[in-house]
Amino acid sequence: MRKNILIGISFVLVTFIFTTIVFVIRGNRPMVQAKKEAVAIASKHADLKSVDKFYWFTRKETTFTLVGKNAKNEGIIVFIPEDGSELTVCNQADGITENEALKVVADEIKPHRLLKVSLGLVENDPTWEVMTEDEDGVISYYLVDFGIGKIIGSMTNV
The DSSP-derived string for 55-101 is EEEESSSEEEEEEEEETT--EEEEEEETT----EEEEGGGS--HHHH
CATH: 3.40.50.970, 1.10.3720.10, 3.10.450.40, 3.65.10.10. Which one for 1-91?
A: 3.10.450.40
CATH number of 98-157: 3.10.450.40
pLDDT at 38: 87
pLDDT at 16: 56
Identical fold at 1-91 and 98-157?
yes
Length of the chain: 158
pLDDT at 33: 85
**Cβ proximity of 48 and 70 under 8 Å:** yes
At residue 77, φ and ψ (nearest 5 deg) are -125, 130
Per-10-residue mean pLDDT of the chain, 158 residues long, equals 70 57 54 86 90 94 95 96 90 97 96 96 95 95 97 90
Domain locations along the chain = 1-91, 98-157
The residues near 47 (Cβ < 8 Å, ≥ 6 apart) are 70, 71, 76
User: The pTM is what?
Assistant: 0.79
As a whole number of angstroms, the distance between CA 144 and CA 82 comes to 21
